[in-house]
Amino acid sequence: MTMIRCFFPSAILFGMTAISNAQWSYANLHPAGAGESYIEGIHSGLQVGYAAVGGGFRCSLWSGTAASWIDISPAGAQAIGTYANLGQQVGYAGIGGTTHAGFWSGSSASWVDLHPAGSTQSLAYGLGGGKQSGFAVIGGVTHAGLWSGTAGSFVDLHPTGASESKAFGLDGAQQSGSARAGGILRACLWTGTAASIIDLSPAGATESEIEAASGGQQVGRAVVGGVTRASLWTGSAASWVDLHPAGSSESYVYGVEGAQQAGRAKISGAFHAGIWSGTAASWVDLHNILPTNFNESNAQGIWHDAQGVTFVVGYAYNTTTTRNEAIMWVRQNPNDFALSLNKSSVAGQNSVLGTITMVETKPANTVFTTYDNSSLVTTPPNVTVLAGQLSRNFQITVTAITSTVNTTIYATRGILTRTQPLTLIPLVPTALSFTPNPVTGGMPTSCRIVMNGVAGPGGRLVATFDNSAYAVTPNSVTVPAGASSVTFPIMTVVVTSIKYVTVTARVSAVDKTGTFRINP
């Protein structure tokens, strides 16, 4: 999650596109008016980096789109952001002609200067748990260091006998980076003191360095056999894993989170952004997602949200605009899915059709758990999408109710949960009609009651009555199971003048009336 290292001896120099491949897509986050732009880190939905604006580099913060770009550089300073973690950003800024390490909390005004007293230059690259890691130039020598939120908290991690040292990654109580000893740059790990250093340089390496760390993993590079190789460690030199992709001439890792690593590999003479999942063979080339007018790309950081969506950030060179542009690659969780219902509301004991639709097919059956948040709805305990298929329907049955209830249908698999609201409506009469109408006294007429839904098992009892002595209406009728109406006869009596009869149907305390005429 850190940047390609650029160090300056005194002062700092300074919308999702519909293209996808196996569920990958990319967003160009280059801000309007910027000469060039770079993203160096990502966390909690925020991307941090820098952009060339107004003749200098500005520390930049995005929230997923080019339009979301904001300048968080300290007032009057040029700045570069290198890493983000839980709403904070770390990096460095040019203050009074000197590069100062510092961190932000999402705004220019939140800048905290970490520059240690007596140093001539300082830069910060790691952030987490209230601490920051980086380095400072002290007495002309670069010293790895650790801060706890203030300039005065600087802890010098520079090991005895080293000619230079730098800390980049910060992972809990551990700091990682490199130290040059015996003329060789060696990947190393500290736990808060200079004396705690552990040499992670793999056997046979002529140079190595840690660029980032997370979850007990350290990533960076090692030169072995004359080739710069993307590298992964888990706390010791012996744990080194060579991530160098087949067919590439050099490779680097700059970001790590969970089981994945992000970086770049040189393929056919050009750098390609990509990610790994712990082995060289797992390399995924993300450069191929970009349009052909991008000829090189670099991945600097990686983050996964709570739904398992993968975000990879970096930049790519656009030959059309002749500049580097901030890029974010996005891959939906391959286990992601959608839940839909064929109705948003249901009356009586009608059934509802639910559908689970997956992002991509799987070679084996995929099982989902379904349920609701009330005792009024029944879903199957499990819904299985068969191997090679994208979706599966399932039936939801509803209990009869007497008042409107809002409920929610859930489908879950692993960390992913999808919901759909469902409104349950009582089964009530909506219309009464009579045939014939008018009817001659002494003859029957048929009354049809129409409901707002179908009756469930056992049917639905409807209370019926009229307001006249000239008709004989039953006290109740039953809407058959699976039917939405019932028809029954009403006998009339002989009359000497025109009479009007009003019939009432009552279900769930809801009345519906209809009127017919009796002729002499």
pLDDT (0 to 100) of residue 22: 54
DSSP 457: T
Cβ contacts of residue 164 below 8 Å, gap of 6+? 141, 142, 143, 179, 180
- In which residue ranges of the chain is pLDDT below 70? 1-22
Q: How far apart are CA 329 and CA 348, in angstroms?
A: 47
The dihedral formed by the CA atoms of 158, 159, 164 and 170, expressed in degrees to the nearest 10:
-60
Q: Which two tokens stand for residue 180?
A: 């040059």
Q: Of 210, 209, 285, which is closest to residue 245 (Cα–Cα)? A: 285
Q: How far apart are CA 367 and CA 138, in angstroms?
A: 59
Q: How far apart are CA 82 and CA 41, in angstroms?
A: 6
How do beta strands 345-347 and 46-53 pair? Answer: unpaired
Q: Which two tokens stand for residue 78?
A: 């040029």
Cβ contacts of residue 484 below 8 Å, gap of 6+? 450, 451, 452, 453, 454, 455
Backbone angles phi, psi at 203, to 5 degrees: -55, 130
Listed in sequence order, the DSSP H helices in 336-454 are: none
DSSP 495: -
In tens, the pLDDT along 88-144 reads 999 999 999 999 999 999 999 999 999 999 999 999 999 999 999 999 999 999 999
Q: Which two tokens stand for residue 140?
A: 């002309």
pLDDT (0 to 100) of residue 6: 36
pLDDT (0 to 100) of residue 349: 73
Q: How far from chain centre, in Å, is Cα 369? A: 21
Question: Is the preceding peptide bond at 116 cis, omega within 30 degrees of 0?
Answer: no
pLDDT (0 to 100) of residue 12: 30
In the chain, what is the straight-line distance between the N-terminal and C-terminal CA atoms, in Å? 92
In tens, the pLDDT along 364-381 reads 999 999 999 988 899 999
Q: Of 280, 333, 267, 271, which is closest to residue 300 (Cα–Cα)? A: 271
| Host H or E run for residue 391 | strand 391-398
Beta-bridge partner residues of 491:
444, 472
Question: Is the preceding peptide bond at 438 cis, omega within 30 degrees of 0?
Answer: yes
8 Å CB contact between 330 and 309: yes
Strand order in the sheet with 16-21: 16-21, 24-28, 323-331, 310-318, 294-304
CA distances from 39 to 83, 425, 442 (A): 9, 51, 89
Beta-bridge partner residues of 422:
407
Q: Which two tokens stand for residue 41?
A: 């880190």
Rounded to whole angstroms, the maximal C-alpha distance in the chain is 123
Beta-bridge partner residues of 297:
316
The dihedral formed by the CA atoms of 79, 84, 88 and 91, expressed in degrees to the nearest 10:
-30
Q: How far apart are CA 290 and CA 273, in angstroms?
A: 10
Q: Of 298, 302, 300, which is closest to residue 317 (Cα–Cα)? A: 298
